[in-house]
Amino acid sequence: MSIALIGFASVLLLAFLGVPLGFSMLAVGFVGFAWLRGLEPALVMVPQTLVDSSFTFGLSVIPLFILMGVFIHRSGVSEELYDTAQTWLGHFRGGLAHATVAACAMFGMISGSSLAAAATMSKVAIPQMRQRGYSDSLASGSVAAAGVLGMLIPPSVPLMIYGLIADQDIRKLFIAVMIPGLLVALSFIAAILLFAVLRPADLPVGGANKSFREKLSSLKGVIWTLLLFVVVIGGMYGGVFTVTEAAGIGCTMAFFIALLRRGMGLRDMLDCAVDAGKTTGMLFMIVFGAMVFANFINLSGFAYLLGEWVRGLGLGPVGILLAIALIYILLGCVLETLGLILLTVPIFLPIVTDFGVHPIWFGIFLIMMVEFGQLTPPVGLNVLTVKSVVHDIPTGKIFIGVTPFLIANLIIVALIILFPDIVLAPINWF
Amino acid sequence: MSPAVSKMAQSLERAYTVLGALLLVSISGLMFVDVIGRYFLNKPVKGAFDLVEALMALCAFWFLPLLSRDDRHISVTLLRAGSGMVARIQQSLIEIICLAVAVLMGYGLFETALEYQQIQESSLILGLPKAPFVMVCAVVVMLMAIAHVSRLIRILTPKEPAS
């Protein structure tokens, strides 16, 4: 067990010193494996893991959904999503903050990245909110927090990665995340309403209520997003397509939407593909590192020993989940989403499944917990993304602004622990 | 670097990037044609599974050299020194570790490609030989190693301030 702990500590140390996460995990995984088994088996294990991890048909969903998101983003729908949400919700007190949450949720329907949602909506929503007198902390905090909906509404890139490493059906994961994703979005709306009661000065009263005709007409702005969502996710839920087929169809549809809306040319298409390719490369380097590291951890017997130790503590499943949640909150402060998932799933998944926790349920719980890391100091990437767009708001203010949303998210996590069927029941509906 | 060499390097890089983009677009196109063929014409693309798998492997590695060159891999950097000698030592150590990992990956893939060549490892449906694809991945990873060497040289030989 001690060699595995040294391995974990080494990965964290190397990563904190600035060695890219994928390289840290691969280096430590290789050295640890060689220590336990010898150099020659380690030299065979590394390339075999690389080949097995890359020559995988199922993995094609990742670049394809990323490319779909890039195409649709370039087609300029984000501004229209916000305008539509504003038309419907802008007359409430704090209406622009509500609109931000709604627009991020809709953006999440076409992009699996929380950073893309935060970066896009920062440019669109924060200037308008500040102009209308919203406090800086609420304006920036609501965008940073609502950005995580990109991870919680399918297609979600972190959930796909979980499905692949935990060997779980991605379609089922996408079905299971739907209600928790909606609940988190609603809890964010509730947090804004509470904000309006406790600190009314931070949220000005809403504008004039738009007529029903104007509201209906504003839906033109979301028609493409809805169409893409219905075909891709609806087709997948309905069993018409497999996940990989849905990704291919979605990607091609998104290209044609961009072509129709913005007259995207060949050069633009290639630029989008290069963008998506680079993101894919970043993800795969971490996947490679994590797979090699997981081989070392499995060989060390760490998960088994840790499981025995945990069983010895006499905690029930809820106690274990609370302990894991606490670990995620702490690790989330220093590790980014993907590293956190890849580093911890091989350890925690066998333990929780031993306690009768469903692996699909654990995937959703995991995504909701790693969301925290996107919003907590010092490396809350969503917060830093917002900061990179609005330089004049101090980072501390943004972290304060996301606090009510973190609490709202925790309440939903508690709900899914108390009522696991919120996650599991929909799997049987489709 | 002379202007002619620099221009050639830029063209090569552009060609390399476009090829990578085409790999990704071709996966999407292939998948689309396969789905349309299967559901509407009852004629799926034969061996689409094999082709997507091979293209996917190339895609997973293709952009790694560019990410290394531009220092765009996912990092945490909580304890990175700001500037001066300590920062240069730290930066050099980071590059050396990345270089070692890249060489390990490239060497391993190269050996695997040779082994696949010997045992004639091929895909299930089309019988596509795997060795050339793994060899391309090995070459790409070696390009990543070169990117780290070049970054290391730049760190160790800082430009003299203009007098």
CB B152, CB B71: distance < 8 Å: no
A224 touches chain B (CB under 8 A): no
Instruction: Tell me how far apart the alpha carbons of residues A88 and A218 are, in angstroms, rounded to a whole number.
Output: 9
Q: Which of B63, B101, B112 sits opposite A27 (nearest CB)?
A: B101
| Confidence (pLDDT) at A198 | 85
Diameter of chain B measured on Cα atoms = 73
CB contact set of A87 (below 8 Å; sequence gap of 6+): A210, A214, A215, A218
- Has the ipTM of the complex gone over 0.85? yes
Cross-chain CB nearest to B75 (options A18, A255, A284): A18
Q: Which residues of A touch B52 (CB under 8 A)?
A: 57, 60, 244
pLDDT band at residue A90 under the 50/70/90 scheme: confident
- List Cβ neighbours of B8 (8 Å cut-off, separation of 6 or more): none
| Shortest distance, CA B37 to any CA of chain A (angstroms) | 12
Tokens of A23: 């390289």
User: What are φ and ψ of residue B14, in 5° steps?
Assistant: -60, -45
In this prediction, residues A86-107 reach a mean pLDDT of 88
Assess B73–A contact: CB distance below 8 Å, yes or no.
yes
Q: Which residues in A lie closer than 8 A to residue B67 (C-beta atoms)?
A: 278, 281-282, 285
**Rounded to 5 degrees, what are φ and ψ at B129?**
-65, 135
Nearest chain B CA: its distance from A83 CA (Å) = 31
Amino acid (one-letter) located at A78: S
C-alpha to C-alpha distance for A330 and A372, rounded to whole angstroms = 9
The DSSP code sequence of B147-161 is HHHHHHHHHHSPPPP
- Rounded to 10 degrees, the C-alpha dihedral A45/A17/B77/A298 comes to 30
Q: Are A251 and A64 in contact (CB under 8 A)?
A: yes
d(CA A360, CA A173): 6
Q: Inter-chain contact A288–B59, Cβ cutoff 8 Å?
A: no
Over residues A58-77, mean pLDDT:
85
Q: Is B21 on the interface with A (CB under 8 A)?
A: yes
Give burial (CB, 10 Å; 0-12/13-18/19+) of A149. Answer: buried
Answer whether A49's CB lies under 8 Å from A56's CB: no
Give whichever of A73-87, A136-150, B73-87, B126-140 has the largest mean pLDDT: B126-140
Nearest Cα to A2, choosing from A352, A323, A305?
A305
Average pLDDT over residues A242-252: 88
Q: φ and ψ at B122, to 5 degrees?
A: -145, 170
pLDDT band per the 50, 70, 90 thresholds, residue A234 = confident
Query: Can you list the pairs that A118-123 forms with residues at least 24 positions away whose Cβ atoms lie under 8 Å?
Result: A118/A143, A118/A144, A118/A146, A118/A147, A118/A150, A118/A382, A118/A385, A118/A386, A119/A385, A119/A386, A119/A388, A119/A389, A120/A73, A120/A78, A121/A78, A121/A82, A121/A146, A121/A147, A122/A385, A122/A386, A122/A389, A122/A390, A123/A389
Backbone angles phi, psi at B161, to 5 degrees: -65, 140
Residue in the structure block whose two tokens are 């590059």: B95
Residue A113 — very low, low, confident or very high, per pLDDT cuts 50/70/90?
A: confident
Rounded CA-CA distance B31/A230 in Å is: 19
- Helix (H/G/I), strand (E/B), else coil: A231: helix
A67: tokens are 């490319």
- Between CA A221 and CA A80 the distance in angstroms is 5
Residues 323-342 of A with CB under 8 A from B: 334-336, 338-339
Please list the ranges in chain B whose pLDDT falls under 70.
1, 77, 159-163
The number of C-beta contacts closer than 8 angstroms across A and B is 191
Mutation for B interface: A51, A64, A65, most B CBs within 10 A: A51
Give A170-205 pLDDT, tens digit per residue: 999 999 999 999 999 999 999 998 888 888 887 787
Higher pLDDT, A282 or B77: A282
Q: What per-residue string of b and e applies to A381-396 under the rule 16 or more CB within 10 Å gives b?
A: bbbbbbbebbeebeee
Chain B (102-121) residues lying within 8 Å, Cβ to Cβ, of chain A? 104-105, 107-109, 111-112
Calculate the average pLDDT of chain A: 87
Q: Tokens 């839906």 belong to which residue?
A: A219
Interface membership of A429 toward B (CB under 8 Å): no
Query: Is the Cβ–Cβ distance between B103 and B60 less than 8 Å?
Result: no
CA angle A195, A199, A205 (to 5 degrees): 80
**A128 alpha carbon, distance to own chain's centre:** 26
> Rounded to the nearest 10 degrees, how much is the dihedral formed by the CA atoms of A350, A180, A323, A26?
50
Q: For residue A286, which residues of chain B lie inside 8 Å, CB to CB?
A: 74
Q: Which two tokens stand for residue B33?
A: 């044609």
Measure the CA–CA gap between A277 and A426, rounded to whole angstroms.
33
| Whole-angstrom distance, CA of residue A188 vs CA of residue A406 | 9
Name, of A134-138, A311-315, A334-338, the range with top average pLDDT: A134-138
Question: Taking CA B132 as the corner, what is the angle to CA B128 and CA B138, rounded to the nearest 5 degrees?
Answer: 140
Contact call for B24 and A244, based on CB within 8 A: no
pLDDT of A1 reads 65
Q: Using a CB–CB cutoff of 8 Å, tell me whether A53 touches chain B.
A: yes
Q: Indicate yes or no: CB of B60 within 8 angstroms of CB of A17.
A: no
**AA letter at B148:** H
Interchain CB contact of A290 with B (< 8 Å):
no
Tell me the mean pLDDT in the region A339-357.
87
Residue A297, token pair as written in the block: 């951890």
**Residues from chain A contacting residue B90 (CB–CB below 8 Å):** 17-18
> Is residue A162 predicted with pLDDT exceeding 60?
yes
A253 near A228, Cβ under 8 Å? yes
| Best residue of A10, A16, A17 to probe chain B, by most B CBs closer than 10 Å | A17
Mean pLDDT of A260-275: 84
**Amino acid in position A275:** D
User: How large is the average pLDDT for residues A65-88?
Assistant: 85
A35-56 pLDDT, tens digit each: 999 999 999 999 999 999 899 8
Contact flag A281-B63 (C-beta cutoff 8 Å): yes
Cα separation, A259 vs A214, whole angstroms: 27
Write down the pLDDT at residue B50: 93
Residue A317 to residue A356: CA distance in whole angstroms: 8
Q: What is the pTM of this model?
A: 0.85
Q: Reply yes or no on whether the pLDDT at A383 is more than 90.
A: no
| Cross-chain Cβ contact A379/B91 below 8 Å | no
Residue with tokens 């075909």: A231
CB < 8 Å to A288, chain B: 105
Tokens linked to A227:
């169409």
Which residue among A50, A60, A288 places its CB closest to the CB of B52? A60
Q: Residue A305, Cβ neighbours under 10 Å: how many?
A: 13
* DSSP category for residue B122: B
Residue B162's pLDDT is what?
54
- Is residue A358 within 8 Å of residue A306, measured between CB atoms? no
Q: What is the average per-residue pLDDT within A155-180?
A: 91
Q: How far is B163 from chain A (nearest CA, A)?
A: 33
Task: Check CB contact under 8 Å for A270 and B75.
Answer: no
B77 touches chain A (CB under 8 A): yes
Asked if the Cβ–Cβ distance from B90 to A18 is below 8 Å, we say yes
Long-range contacts of B127-134 (CB under 8 A, 24+ apart): B128/B47, B128/B50, B128/B51, B128/B54, B130/A55, B130/B54, B133/A55, B133/B54, B133/B57, B133/B58, B134/A51, B134/B57, B134/B109
A56–B56 C-beta distance less than 8 A: yes
Report the pLDDT value the prediction gives residue B134, as an integer from 0 to 100: 97
Q: What's residue A188's pLDDT?
A: 94
- pLDDT above 70 for A263: no
Cis peptide bond prior to A350, omega within 30° of 0: no
